[in-house]
Each structure stands twice: as structure tokens, then as C-alpha cells.
Amino acid sequence: MDLTSVAVTPQIPDDVVHWHGKATGSHWAMLPGRRGPCLVEAASREQLAVVIHWHLRRVTD
């Protein structure tokens, strides 16, 4: 997934559980998936928002 091509960073939906890991320095979210919950990781909050948006669109397609 190319995270550099996003023109406007989407917002993280209010109902998505997400956090910043103090030990890892990464940003994390737990998302619904076709086969159950999916844990995703990103280097920044902005990248996490893009990854969340991509995963949520993929689940509904």
C-alpha cells in the first residue's frame, strides 16, 4: 500500500479503537475484518488514518 499518494488524510472514525504504543512508538488500531478482528500498525497517526480508511473500504467492498 502506497501511503505517500494520499492528498488529504482521512479522519479516524470515532468508533475505531486506536492507540499509540509507548513501548513500540507505533500507532495501532483494532478493525473489523471478514475473518474477525484485525490489528493494524502504522508509524504515525496520519498513516494509521490512511490504513484504517483503506481497511474499512476493503471490508465493505
Q: What is the pLDDT of residues 1-24, one digit of tens each?
A: 555 555 778 999 999 999 999 999
Q: What's the predicted TM-score (pTM) here?
A: 0.80
Query: Over 70: is that where the pLDDT of 35 sits?
Result: yes
C-alpha–C-alpha distance, residues 29 and 47, integer Å = 11
Strand order in the sheet with 17-20: 17-20, 27-31, 38-42
pLDDT band at 61 (very low <50, low <70, confident <90, very high): low
